[in-house]
Amino acid sequence: MNPDSAFRFPGLYLLRKAATCTLLLGVCLPSHAESSCDIAAIQAMAPKDTTITGADAVKDPAPHCRVEGYVTTTNPGPNQVNFRLQLPDENWNGRYYFIGMGATAGTVPTDSQIPAGNPVIQGFAVAGTDTGHQSVANWRFLAESEAKAVDHVHRGAHVTAVATQQITRQYYGVESMYRYHSGCSGGGRMGMEIITRHPADYDGVLLGAPGIGPRRGAETMLAFIYAAQQLHREPGAWLSPAKLAMAEQHVTRACDGLDGAVDGVIWEHEACQYDFTLLQCPAGDGPDCLTAPEIRTIDALLKGPHGPNGPIKSGFPISNMSSWSMFLGQGAPPWPREITRENYHLASAGYMIGNTLAQAFFGPDFQGLTDFDFNDQAQLDAWWEAAERIGYGYSMPTDISGVKDNGGKVIFWNGVSDPCCIDKELIKFYNDAGDTLGGMDKMAEFTRFYRIPGMAHCGAGTGPQDAPDKMLEALIGWVEKGQAPQEIVTHRGEKAELLFADPDTGTVSGVVVPPSVGSARDFLICPYPKRSVFNGKVGGEMDAENWSCQ
């Protein structure tokens, strides 16, 4: 039995504490916390390396004890890893939820990013950390402090989990609880570090779009720099959001039916080929055509960055091209260099974050737009060497047997149309991990992988909005009831069922990824390598009952 899994035997739990049983995702809920919400009481529950700086009774979004503190890390160090822990006053559901943060983290979260909203609404104890630094979407800090680099890569989240899980157990007077981690992009990267370095930290990990390539995240940043160079390659090379949306419409019309369903979604982007010269302007420019420089940019982004020794990273998926603007920027060059929230929307967010990693590797004055040469193998080798030296962006091990050994479960997922963290790169990692274990049948004992149709980076696009929510529910059922997930029905539009939405307004707070677009419908998502196949019923494309996993 998993050492932190006594909730599989509710009678053992109820011997420890009286409870009022109500249904919330099928578990019996403790009535309330008996511990005091004050600094002294919480400090007494914390490990020796942990300092509690605040403990306050908070009413919104549900009554809870909000704990602030930090863990002091050493060797290397010292460094301060800040955290927040939210402990429901009543109806704690016996679950602990850790917020996986996107990008560099750098701030202490209150709300979950993916799924969006605050899990305390559903009775979860909720924790999150800044991973030991305060640099938001700016990777320069990696070169400033070895301790901050180590804490961001993996140690900060681990020591925070150890501290906040100990506090949670003592606060509610239990020996065990169910422990979950969920994140996408940078939060997915955190999940990868968990399953390879700290597999005993959680019972279930929901791991989205981590950007796994041959050398993990470092080639994703190179791809952002490459894309920015293409947008500056010649006059008129930049692609506006309007031009990308126009091109997307033509591509969708051409490839929509390849999967057997004309539903406005390209389910398999690699099956789609399109000749963009068909859209070339006969003369000059216009809103409904592409100039020759724009076509050359599209072709370059679809191809992806190459060096003297071949491809560095897969090119952008051809489906949902309008989502490229999330990383290419809303405004034409020249772009501002200062890193601000406003500039991230105006300029290329991809280049701005990629260039900060280049500056961590090569110095604060380095400018990837002009200083990086993809035809220079020595410079590419220096990039990988810097990744190894700093400890960020190196090869990701494929041995995840520690999760299985500790009785844990993992659900991997990736948007099919993600231009950042390409789905086929995670497919390769998943297959490689299966080979390391000795076969995909062994992977199936404790992992699943879902490719989300129409979804861009962690959300947006034309796919389902509630796929992360539904996968988390499936993960909980697997961990707590032994119900191995198979096909999952997900939804878009008003049909979306958002797990952490405010019960009064139906909205989620803290959303950083735009919701999907399109009319309300169902999507049937299938565990890899199965695919969702339409049965051909006329007019039935929008209903999951007309799709099956094959």
Is residue 521 in some structural domain?
Answer: no
The answer on 94 and 231 residing in a single domain is no
pTM, rounded to two decimals: 0.93
What is the DSSP pairing of strand 310-311 with strand 306-307?
A: antiparallel
Which residue positions in the chain have pLDDT lower than 70? 1-34, 213-217, 510
Specify the 3-state DSSP secondary structure of 209: coil
Is residue 338 in some structural domain?
Answer: yes
Is residue 430 in some structural domain?
Answer: no
Q: Which domain, by its residues, includes 42? A: 1-176
Tens-digit pLDDT profile for residues 198-211: 999 999 999 999 98
Is residue 420 in some structural domain?
Answer: no
Alpha-carbon torsion (325, 328, 332, 335), positive or negative: positive
The answer on 292 and 238 residing in a single domain is yes
Q: How distant, in Å, are the alpha carbons of 222, 304, 314 from that of 228?
A: 10, 12, 16
* pLDDT at site 335: 86
Nearest alpha carbon to residue 353 among 157, 229, 154, 220: 220
The answer on 144 and 277 residing in a single domain is no
Report how many domains make up the chain: 2
Angle of helix 218-231 versus helix 377-390 axis, rounded to 10: 140
Domain boundary among 145, 176, 207: 176
Angle of helix 377-390 versus helix 349-362 axis, rounded to 10: 80
* pLDDT at site 528: 97
The answer on 237 and 169 residing in a single domain is no
Tell me the residue type at 247.
A
* pLDDT at site 51: 98
The answer on 141 and 5 residing in a single domain is yes
The answer on 222 and 171 residing in a single domain is no
* pLDDT at site 340: 79
The answer on 94 and 13 residing in a single domain is yes
Domain boundary among 359, 390, 421: 390
Tens-digit pLDDT profile for residues 371-414: 999 999 999 999 999 999 998 887 789 999 999 999 999 999 99
